[in-house]
Amino acid sequence: MNPDSMQNPDRLPPRDLPRRRSGRHRNPLSFDSSVGTPTLVLGVPGTARDDSGDGANPIGPQMCDLIRSYRPEVTIRYGCTGGDEHRLVDALADLTPVEGRPLAGVVVPLVTAPHPAMNRAIASAVEATRANVRVTDGLGPHPMLAEVLHLRLAEAGYVRADRMRLISVVAPNTMMTDGVVVGAAGGDEAVSAAGVTAVLLAARLGITVLPADLENEASVEAVMGQLRQAGCVRPVIAPSVLGPEFPPDRLVALAERFGARACAPLGAGSTLAKIAALRYAEVLNSLGIEESPTAEDLPAPTGSRHRPEN
């Protein structure tokens, strides 16, 4: 107990204010609002409509809403690389250079790995609009993607919801999988990025997990062969994509082709929104727009222990 409170019980205890972290350990999502904050533009692959063309593709608006909880002071919008609705060129149209502002916007591609087609589409839109923006890497590779894939597999009933923590347990029923294919879309670099996620997911589940190119049936066939050689009889394809990059009907057909099952794509979620917010913060930190606080920036301490001496 504080000795001051024992000597004078009517005196309020001193306030212990939380210490504001600075430097390299400062919260990367923190931001001091200022005039001219760069707009965050989400680059959505595909069109604003789903594959059938009847319903809206929800990834863009859902991710915008989720990211606002991390960056409430930032203007957030999205643009699609295809179609005639919610086009990326329209989202970039007013982000022209302004004197005194180092950057008008930051484009975050909603892909989980390097994606050449997406990169070309964004570069084309930026060139057409002459927008003063910086384009970040996609949402992966990132350690948190393994967590989201684990969740999607658990939601489908293919794995345990809790982590195995290096304990190898035989699947208790025919629903649970004994081998997972982490599917990537975007070519060799995307498969390499999916390999990072596969290693982390294998550590979480305690089963064999391998990456494969969803757009290359030969790649999927080779990986399925490796799983069979490892004794896998209940393979599951876990697409490491948000959704628009690889249509659901193609995923179902691919799984049937190889006698496997498939879980849902990553979709929109708070974890992916946090990664997108981090990508935005990385750009601002590199430009010096977000700076570590100095001693003068910290608020003056308050409370009885900090009262000036008479």
> Has residue 308 got a pLDDT over 60?
no
The mean predicted confidence, pLDDT, of the chain is 83
Distance CA 38, CA 132 (A): 10
What CATH number labels 144-262?
Answer: 3.40.50
Q: Was domain 24-139+269-294 assigned CATH 3.40.50?
A: yes
Mean pLDDT on 111-116: 94
Distance CA 180, CA 232 (A): 9
Q: What are 80's strand-pairing partners?
A: 44, 87
Strands of the sheet containing 179-184, edge to edge, are: 208-213, 179-184, 235-239, 261-262
Q: Radius of gyration over alpha carbons of the chain, in Å? A: 24
Q: Which pLDDT belongs to residue 56?
A: 74
Q: Which amino acid is at 36?
A: G
Helix (H, G, I), strand (E, B) or coil at 284: helix
Nearest to 123 by CA among 88, 95, 154: 88
CB < 8 Å & 24+ apart, contacts of 219-226: 219/191, 220/181, 220/183, 220/254, 220/258, 221/258, 223/181, 224/181, 224/258, 224/260
Max avg pLDDT among 24-28, 101-105, 189-193: 189-193
Distance CA 14, CA 5 (A): 9
Note the pLDDT tens digit of each residue in 188-225.
999 999 999 999 999 999 999 999 999 999 999 999 99
What is the token pair recorded at 161? 């919801």
Mean pLDDT on 285-302: 56
> Which regions of the chain carry the CATH code 3.40.50?
24-139+269-294, 144-262
Q: Which pLDDT belongs to residue 166?
A: 41
Q: Which pLDDT belongs to residue 55?
A: 65
- Element holding 262 (H helix, E strand): strand 261-262
Is pTM beyond 0.85? Reply is no
What is the token pair recorded at 29? 């999502």
Mean pLDDT on 262-288: 94
Least confident of 31-45, 68-82, 107-121, 142-156: 31-45
- Percent of the chain beyond pLDDT 70? 76
Confidence of residue 238 (pLDDT cuts 50, 70, 90): very high
Nearest to 117 by CA among 9, 64, 43: 43
Nearest to 237 by CA among 216, 219, 217, 220: 220
Helix (H, G, I), strand (E, B) or coil at 194: helix
Least confident of 54-58, 128-132, 285-289: 54-58
Q: Which pLDDT belongs to residue 257?
A: 96
Note the pLDDT tens digit of each residue in 114-125.
999 999 999 999
Distance CA 19, CA 2 (A): 20
Confidence of residue 162 (pLDDT cuts 50, 70, 90): confident
> Has residue 241 got a pLDDT over 90?
yes
Q: Which pLDDT belongs to residue 305?
A: 43
Q: Which pLDDT belongs to residue 175?
A: 83
Nearest to 81 by CA among 131, 118, 116: 118
